[in-house]
Chain A
């Protein structure tokens, strides 16, 4: 890179040229460039995508597939560190930032530490798109899925789900006996979307207003390819362009991007909560609790009949004095 390049790089804060895009097969390249053109038309210079999901579902692999380079470290059997990583690539003035996050599940529960790290990492950034990643070839939805969705909702607010897509990896998969592929995909995605909707606490009309799109992904090197050498899904669509296309749709879907600020990260200040109620409660206590009590005590004292010896004692004391 020459001097000019160096300057531009410094300006773009670590965002490198998106070289991987040139490695794509020509068909994919042209589609991608077309999509990027759309951004130019809208005068948007960057897009920030956050990838989240359970561990081992293929988040980092998806990032790598999209960037078409080994941007994030992938290890099959070990979990990577807890730190989220930002992969930022620019192409003709448009920057695509993808934030890869660690798996949110650790030992059977949601890893709060990971969530906090992600929050801290995203501080003062704007999330344009959230990709919630899970595997297609899993049959059941369990409580962990719910917990993960809830954790994301708690951390970034339910609005984030309006800017999200469900990514199902391992899409090149033959479903179990008696099910065809499309049916399986739809049932699997429905099951997951149900969980997401429940976890996001979206209201009915909101659900109708913004349906969460489903993206199928196959990161494996054995992914089938079509004549144009594009990676395709079992149904024949090239998935990388369609993924990027969906990203674009989401970013333009009219909902506001999520800006992660201090308030969102720290959550509501517990000291502020219910402050206004304090005088009310005080008044309530004074009028309805203390007053009757004092009255009751006094009436008790008045009604007391002293035992004989006390009367005698006090009498003798009076005499003495």
Chain B
């Protein structure tokens, strides 16, 4: 199957005030692949992720240089409508963050804010999304109860369902398993395998094994620079650079 380019990051720089958090990042992300961003804390991988749905706009005194092309459109352009961009690029956060609303309302939220009023469509899409997040059997009897009553792993799958319900193109995952136990983590990883048939996924992770298990492409970040990118198997077995090897074998970081 021919790989199709989904996102092309071109010579991207990112600044917090005078601090350069990202330096000259160029990275291609292909459709229906999982791209993992790895690297030690503070290396810029989360910042990179948040450039992709312009979440960094919320940070005062921050600045972006360079381009990010999503389906060949530059999303760093100030004219881009960030609200519709964020609908197309879903995000799952580090800690499960369901709203203090019912399970149903959590998943329906994205559709409601995007102006969808058709009740039958919303109900059907809520069910489809929760099923796609492999959560339906666990919650189908209490769909109108508070989402805060779910376990951490269930909450995180609910957040994935919530992100999928608006039918995005791309899913960004910022260390989605860091607050979860191994069993919940395994479920999310299995889910990622399923989801890449439909979505393009970019995942930030601190867990080397997780990157090796779930991703097709791995990009290693260090001190705001993209050190090495390659097919995941290659990165983990025959990295080109010593720095990469040191990190993935646990010698630093």
Are these two chains actual partners, yes or no? no
